[in-house]
Amino acid sequence: MNTDDLIASLSADLPRIAPGAAARRVALGLGLGALGSAVVMLAWLGPRPDLAQAVATPMFWMKFGYAAITGLILALLLTRLSKPAARLGALAAVAAIPFAIVVAMALMRYAQAPSEAHRAMLMGHSSMLCPWRIVAIGLPLLVGAVWAVRGLAPTRLWAAGMTAGACAGALGAAVYAIACNETSAPFLAIWYTLGMALVAALGAVAGSRLLRWR
Amino acid sequence: MDEIEPRLKGLMLAGLAGEAGPYRRLLDELSGLLRAYYGRRCPPGLDAEDLVQETLIAVHTRRATYDAGQPFTAWAYAIARYKLIDALRRGRSHLRAPAEEADALFASLGAAGGAEAAMAARDLERVMADLPARTRQLIRETKVEGLSTREAAENHGMTESAVKVAIHRGLKALGGRYADPGQGGSG
């Protein structure tokens, strides 16, 4: 097929493209992924038994909010990374703001607490489980993110893969926050963030291969 | 650049709104720019015209990723660059064969009559044997039976874009087999 024929063929019967199609695809992938993550969380761990009381405490919302807001900012960043030559602007830096706030709160709480409470603050009772649970719960979200981005046109595959992973990890952590009953800010800053970072690393390694498109 | 950018962007926006005429002018003009781009960069072993075609296909099938707030040329060249890197990464073999040769086969299929056409049709089935079943079916329907891509798309529940791309790649793989029977294009 010569190039002129190809052009004639591509431009024949041209449907209209609705604006925002790329963002809708990312939202769909993450939405279906979040559904899968919620199913994994409910079937495997179940919501924390005291959820009804917990939602009245600031710590629940700090955990959920940290993860969910980070995840939403990263979803915007992921949409941009799915478009060739899109400018990222300050968004990559904005994604770190919730983390900075959580770290500041963790340092403050830690400094105020008596030293015999420090170990419990840092380790909680589930520090060895928490990051891995976030990885497992984040996996369906990662699948959804990769599906969405692959169908668009990422040109920086490592960055797109890492962002897909970080976004899946953060939204997965928000889902996990419904099951988790840890209550300290230092725990959140360390172990939730570690869980997100693990999914981000997985996304970077897997994404650079899985996101290739033709 | 000052003149090219606003003109191409205008054509692209019209294309996104579904206007075939401006969109065709866009692809025409873009193919010239891409030829110049790959002419300078294409290493030996890669076919620059194939890269032009791959990039036009990508521009078409991924056009939903273009943002009206963004320079069009930056977007298109980012795709061109990705396609060059992707071709290098895949190795060079699959971009060796232009699809024109397979097209010539179909032309002879149409022109010849009687026994010759029957033989050509049999040859065609033989060389298509390694293509995916659906691609084979699409090529048969559009190139031999004369269906439009829209009709073929409806038959298979595919989008028209996907049909066009599948046929193009199928023909390219056929061309590769003809040019060098030892290594059929597997892309």
- How far is the alpha carbon of B113 from chain A, nearest alpha carbon, in Å? 23
DSSP string covering B110-165: HH--HHHHHHHHHHHHHHGGGS-HHHHHHHIIIIIS---HHHHHHHHT--HHHHHH
Alpha-carbon gap, residue A146 to A32, rounded angstroms:
12
| pLDDT above 80 for B126 | no
The dihedral through the CA atoms of B133, B136, B140, B143 has a sign that is positive
- Nearest-by-CA chain A residue for B175: A1
Partner-chain contact A84 B65, CB within 8 Å: yes
Question: ipTM score of the complex?
Answer: 0.91
Q: Does A209 touch chain B (CB under 8 A)?
A: no
Query: What is the rounded average pLDDT for all residues in chain B?
Result: 82
Q: How far apart are CA A2 and CA A23, in angstroms?
A: 34
What pLDDT is stored for residue B172 in this prediction? 79
Q: Is A87 on the interface with B (CB under 8 A)?
A: yes
- Whether the CB-CB separation of B171 and B139 falls below 8 Å is answered with yes
**In the prediction, which pLDDT does B145 show?**
79
Inter-CA distances, A37 with A143, A168, A177, A179, A211, Å: 10, 10, 12, 12, 21
Q: Which residues between 17 and 36 in chain A have a beta carbon less than 8 angstroms from any beta carbon of chain B?
A: 17, 19, 21-22, 25
B118 Cα distance to chain centroid: 28
Residue of A10, A171, A153 whose CA lies nearest to A75: A171
Convert the pLDDT of each residue in B6-19 to its tens digit.
999 999 999 999 99
pTM for the full predicted model: 0.82
The single residue listed with the structure tokens 């005429």 is B21
Which chain A residue has the Cα nearest residue B165?
A10
Question: Does the pLDDT value for residue B71 go beyond 90?
Answer: yes
Rounded-to-integer distance, Cα A172 and Cα A70, Å: 11
**Residue B18 near residue A14 (C-beta atoms within 8 A):** yes
B57 contact residues in A (CB cutoff 8 A) = 6, 10
- Residue of B24, B49, B70 lying closest to A85 (CB–CB): B70
Average pLDDT, chain A: 96
Count how many residues are written for chain A.
214
- Bigger pLDDT: A144 or B127? A144
The gap between the terminal CA atoms of chain B, to the nearest Å, is 34
Confidence of residue B168 (pLDDT cuts 50, 70, 90): confident
Residue A57 pLDDT > 60: yes
pLDDT digits (tens, 9 = 90+) for A151-207: 999 999 999 999 999 999 999 999 999 999 999 999 999 999 999 999 999 999 998
Which of A14-23, A194-203, B152-161 has the highest mean predicted lDDT (pLDDT)? Answer: A194-203
Confidence of residue B96 (pLDDT cuts 50, 70, 90): very low
Q: The domain B4-92: what is its CATH number?
A: 1.10.1740.10
CB proximity A76 to B under 8 Å: no
Supply the pLDDT for residue B104. Answer: 58
Contact A129, A193 (CB under 8 A): no
Average pLDDT over residues B131-155: 85
Window 118-137 of A, Cβ < 8 Å to B = none
In this predicted structure, what is the pLDDT of residue B186?
39
Above 60 in pLDDT, residue B101? no
Determine whether A183 is exposed, middle or buried from the number of CB atoms within 10 Å of its CB (0-12, 13-18, 19+): middle
Contact A74, A170 (CB under 8 A): yes
Is residue B179 within 8 Å of B97, Cβ to Cβ?
yes
Contact B66, B75 (CB under 8 A): yes
Q: Tokens 């405490």 belong to which residue? A: A57
How is chain B split into domains, by residue range? 4-92, 99-178
**Which of B31, B78, B100 faces A7 most closely, judged by CB atoms?**
B31
Own/partner pairs for A106-109, CB < 8 Å, 24+ apart?
A: A106/A184, A106/A185, A106/A186, A106/A188, A106/A189, A106/A190, A108/A185, A109/A184, A109/A185, A109/A186
pLDDT of residue B170: 84
Which pLDDT tens digit goes with each residue over A59-95? 999 999 999 999 999 999 999 999 999 999 899 999 9
Q: Between B27, B150, B168, which is nearest A13 by CB?
A: B150
Cβ atoms A145, A168 nearer than 8 A: yes
At B21-60, the pLDDT tens digits run 999 999 999 999 999 999 988 888 888 999 999 999 999 9
**3-state secondary structure (DSSP) of residue B48:** helix
Average pLDDT for residues B71-78, to the nearest whole number? 97
Whether residue B185 has pLDDT greater than 70: no
Q: Tell me how many residue pairs between chain A and chain B have CB atoms under 8 A apart.
A: 107
Residue numbers of B between 19 and 78 with CB closer than 8 Å to A: 19-20, 23-24, 27-28, 31, 49, 52-54, 56-58, 60, 62-68, 70-71, 74-78
User: Rounded to an integer, what distance in angstroms lies between the CA atom of residue A124 and that of residue A113?
Assistant: 14
Residues of B in contact with A150 (CB under 8 A): none
Q: Count CB atoms within 10 A of the CB of residue B32.
A: 11
If you measure CA to CA, which chain A residue comes closest to B68?
A19
- The phi and psi torsions of A124 (rounded to 5 degrees) equal 55, -145
Given CB atoms, is B135 within the 8 Å cutoff of chain A? Answer: no
Give the residue from chain B lying closest to A153, CA to CA.
B62
User: CATH fold of B99-178, please?
Assistant: Arc Repressor Mutant, subunit A (1.10.10)
> Sorting pLDDT into bands at 50, 70 and 90, what band is B177?
low
